[in-house]
């Protein structure tokens, strides 16, 4: 086990180093593309396609403020365009501006209640403990869009009940989500949180392990596997999984602190 853990951590270290180099190279390419697009837009200011390409590039560079400003330019010209408001909601959400994300998704759904926009809006309402999330997910469930959308709806319901501290209902809806989509890592993660807080570390560990089995690049999943390992006095496994979490997300301060504590 120790040898395998070392090999895994070493592999992630190698991957992380290469990823940093790749990220720098990709960012340099994107920044050059942004400069080029801005020059083209200056020549063709009415080209929606060029503006949308620029927005995508800015999004990839995490320059959400400038990207939102670009979307606002398009909205000023066509305030009833569903796609513009939906894109604005996505950007605000990425920028952690929940209030404006809700407003933007809300405007999008009033123009056209597309399922993806309704889901995005419902998810934010659930996170902010607003019961409108339940109404929106019921609306989508009644549309009978299929198991994939059902899974999203049940997950959002689970989030709402988890945030409002009705843990049993939350667990039930996360299970409904998994029944509709077995490969839904966030549902396992949320289940794990509830089980861990309830003191059921063994069951929580099973849930978190399912999360990283489905998505083996999920830093949060490894972190919580490590938390369970530590709580169950499995120090070697805890250290290994904290290290993997940190390799996947070098800014995870909780993993850094845990490693300092355990080593």
In a domain, 99, yes or no: no
Q: How far is CA 47 from CA 37, 55, 69, 89, in A?
A: 11, 13, 16, 22
Task: Determine the pLDDT at residue 19.
Answer: 53
In a domain, 244, yes or no: yes
Phi and psi dihedrals of 251, rounded to 5? -95, 5
In a domain, 220, yes or no: yes
Contact 102, 125 (CB under 8 A): yes
Which residues span the domain enclosing 233?
Answer: 193-263
Q: How confident is the model at residue 263 (pLDDT cuts 50, 70, 90)?
A: confident
In a domain, 41, yes or no: no
Other CB atoms within a 10 A radius of the CB of residue 126 amount to 25
Task: Determine the pLDDT at residue 22.
Answer: 55
Q: 195 is written with which tokens?
A: 């089980």
Burial class (CB in 10 A: 0-12, 13-18, 19+), 177: buried
Residues 215-258: tens digit of each pLDDT: 999 999 999 999 999 999 999 999 999 999 999 999 999 999 99
- CATH value at residue 246: 1.25.40.10
Angle between helix axes 167-180 and 185-197 (nearest 10 degrees) is 150
Residues 28-79: tens digit of each pLDDT: 666 777 888 888 888 888 888 998 999 999 999 999 999 999 999 999 999 9
| Domains of the chain: total | 1
Residues 133-191: tens digit of each pLDDT: 999 999 999 999 999 999 999 999 999 999 999 999 999 999 999 999 999 999 999 99
């Amino acid at each position: 086990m120790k040898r395998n853990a070392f090999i895994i951590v070493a592999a992630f270290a190698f991957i992380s180093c290469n990823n940093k180099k790749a990220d720098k190279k990709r960012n340099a390419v994107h920044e050059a593309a942004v400069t080029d697009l801005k020059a083209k837009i200056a020549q063709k200011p009415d080209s929606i396609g060029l503006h949308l390409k620029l927005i995508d590039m800015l999004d990839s560079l995490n320059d959400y403020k400038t990207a939102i400003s670009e979307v606002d330019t398009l909205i000023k010209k066509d305030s009833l365009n569903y796609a513009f408001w939906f894109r604005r909601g996505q950007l605000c959400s990425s920028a952690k501006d929940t209030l404006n994300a809700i407003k933007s998704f809300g405007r999008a759904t009033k123009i056209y209640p597309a399922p993806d926009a309704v889901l995005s809006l419902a998810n934010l309402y659930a996170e902010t403990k607003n019961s409108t999330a339940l109404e929106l997910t019921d609306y989508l469930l009644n549309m009978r869009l299929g198991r994939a959308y059902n899974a999203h709806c049940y997950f959002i319901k689970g989030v709402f009940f988890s945030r409002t501290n009705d843990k049993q209902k939350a667990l039930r809806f996360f299970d409904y989500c998994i029944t509709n989509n077995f490969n839904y890592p966030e549902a396992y993660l949320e289940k794990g949180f509830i089980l861990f807080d309830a003191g059921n570390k063994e069951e929580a560990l099973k849930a978190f392990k399912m999360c990283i089995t489905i998505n083996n690049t999920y830093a949060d999943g490894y972190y919580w596997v490590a938390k369970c390992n530590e709580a169950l006095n499995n120090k070697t496994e805890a250290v290994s999984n904290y290290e993997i979490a940190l390799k996947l997300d070098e800014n995870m301060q909780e993993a850094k602190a845990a490693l300092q504590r355990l080593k």
